[in-house]
Amino acid sequence: MNASKEACRLSIGSCMETALSQGRLRVLIVGCGIAGATLAALLYQRGINSVVTEQGDENEASGYVLGLYPLGSRVLYGLNMHLRYRQISSKMERYVLYDHSGKILKEIPLDKLADSYGDIRGVDRGDLLTLLRSGFPRGNVFYNTSIQHIQNNDQNVIVTFSDGSAQAFDLVVGADGGHSHVRELILSQNEYTYRPTGWGGWGVWRSLEGFDNATYRELWADGWFVGIYPVQNRLAVYMGGSKDMVSSVTATQFAKLLQSKLPAGVMKTALQSLEGLENPYFWNMEDCRASRWSAKRVVLLGDASTSFLPTAGIGSSISMDSASVLAEELTRTDALHVSHAISNYIARQKKHVETAQRKSRIFATVMLKNSLLAIKLRNAIIKKCSTSSFLKGVSKIMR
């Protein structure tokens, strides 16, 4: 807890009352990640002083690199955060795809996409979280706090916290990630489904020195993958592979294995001098879809409702976009009609989000191959595709 919460020496539920009494809606946001922090900042700007719980510590590791599309970053204009966002992020000007032997298969300039919709930019997730969290009072966030029970009524929602205290809310927003506890509390197990790909891998960092700071590079081979993404003064490196390949080795061992597979060049160099191999960020390549996004006065947001595979890099952008739609609907309602605002949000956003998830799944199906023959066939098809065809799916999501 921060100093003000320690000073009050009350339970979590009681400490929330000061913030809740200042607004016309009593809103609890569970999860202070990208979706939850975006919603909290937008609501605070609109006069709704929500409270936020976060299971983790304020200073613990906050994830890895994000490629943020204009679909999400445009929300930052309304929060007057876009200038700072540009300072902490790097513009993605081109995308280069390599074949399994390390040769360039496709190089795609992104200027036309940027002209039509805005820049795609790489940003450290921790830096973006810090920016978003600056948009609402620090004292409104309760770290190291989990939800034990939700009593969901027609008139309000009574939430019991990890310290045993309880508080009543007009609305509870579950923004607690792909393995959402709120989702488990309000939906039955047959109302959400995880879809594994059988792949996973580690995200690590290294110095940007000697690397192009505006090009994303990826190499998808038979059962393994390397991606490098510049972010300000660092280079994010992702090393992925089939579960059979990654489950029996450490990140350090896997980096050495991939180096032995790659010819001399930029991708092999990226795997040298890696930082943090003793404690890398592991990304399990699976997604999840909930068939239902709400129950009475509880609604799911971001990955809690529909999570995305990292292959498309669109998940955070979709979460921010969804947060802006939910904030807009809540701005136009009162405590009596929260359920109507939830219905409007779902009607506006669910189909769009699920369409984007479906496209990310198709992309994963194309990229995640374990057979060398399948890799060669896929590469031959990609080589024949025009740049406009390659970007067609991305353009549809932007609209």
DSSP string of 347-391?
Answer: HHHHHHHHHHHHHHHHHHHHH-B--HHHHHHHHHHHHHS-HHHHH
Question: Could you tell me the two tokens for 284?
Answer: 């399990």
Residue 4 is predicted with a pLDDT of: 46
| Distance separating alpha carbons of residues 219 and 217, to the nearest angstrom | 7
Residues with Cβ within 8 Å of residue 16, at least 6 apart in sequence = 28, 51, 142, 167
Are 236 and 339 members of one domain? no
Distance CA 202, CA 51 (A): 33
In this predicted model, what pLDDT tens digit does every residue of 367-383 receive, in sequence order?
999 999 999 999 999 88
For residue 3, pLDDT over 50 is answered with no
Cα distances (Å, whole numbers) of residue 216 to 83, 92, 124, 355: 23, 7, 14, 25
Average confidence (pLDDT) over 164-173: 97
Contact 1, 145 (CB under 8 A): no
Read off the pLDDT of residues 216-236 as tens digits, 9 standing for 90 and up.
999 999 999 999 999 988 999
**Percent of all residues in the chain with a pLDDT value above 70, rounded to a whole number:** 95
Judge if 95 and 202 occupy the same domain: yes
The residue whose two tokens read 């810090």 is: 130
Same domain, 292 and 279: no
Q: How many CA atoms lie within 13 A of 178 on its CB side?
A: 16
pLDDT computed for residue 7 by the predictor: 43
Is 187 a member of any domain? Answer: yes
Q: What is the DSSP-derived secondary structure letter of residue 121?
A: E
Kindly report, residue by residue over 65-82, the tens digit of the pLDDT.
899 999 999 999 999 999
Q: Which of 28-37, 261-270, 307-316 has the lowest mean pLDDT?
A: 307-316
pLDDT tens profile 336-369: 999 999 999 999 999 999 999 999 999 899 999 9
**Greater pLDDT, 390 or 368:** 368
Q: Which domain holds residue 343?
A: 3-63+127-193+288-361
| Residue bearing the bigger pLDDT, 361 or 6 | 361
Q: DSSP for 211-254, please give it.
A: S-TTEEEEEE-BSEEEEEEEETTEEEEEEEEEHHHHTTS-HHHH
Domain membership of residue 83 (yes or no) is no
In a shared domain, residues 258 and 139:
no
Residues whose CB falls within 8 Å of the CB of residue 66, separated by 6 or more in sequence, listed in order: 34, 122, 123, 124, 125, 128, 313, 316
Residue 282 has pLDDT above 80, yes or no: yes
Into how many domains does the chain fold? 2
**CATH code: domain of residue 101:** 3.30.9.30
Q: Does residue 1 register a pLDDT over 50?
A: no
Same domain, 280 and 298: no
**Are 293 and 158 in a shared domain?**
yes
The CATH number of whichever domain residue 55 belongs to comes to: 3.50.50.60
C-alpha to C-alpha distance for 173 and 183, rounded to whole angstroms: 10
Backbone angles phi, psi at 137, to 5 degrees: -60, 135
Q: According to the model, what pLDDT value does residue 61 have? A: 60
Residues 153 and 117 reside in one and the same domain:
no
pLDDT of residue 279: 85
Instruction: Evaluate whether residue 155 is within a structural domain.
Output: yes
Does any domain span residue 68? no
Length of the chain: 399
Residue 81 falls within a domain, yes or no?
A: no
Q: Give me the phi and psi of 60, to 5 degrees please.
A: -75, 165
Rounded CA-CA distance 229/203 in Å is 11
SS3 category, 201? strand
| Euclidean distance between CA atoms 211 and 266, whole angstroms | 8
What would the pLDDT profile of 96-107 be if each residue is shown by its tens digit? 999 988 999 999
Share of the chain above pLDDT 90, in %: 81
Is the residue at 70 inside a domain?
no
Q: Judge whether 74 lies within some domain.
A: no
Evaluate if residue 278 carries a pLDDT over 60.
yes
Residues 203 and 235 in one domain: yes
Helices within the chain (DSSP H only): 3-8, 12-20, 34-45, 70-73, 75-78, 82-88, 111-117, 125-133, 181-186, 243-246, 251-261, 266-270, 315-331, 338-367, 372-384, 387-398
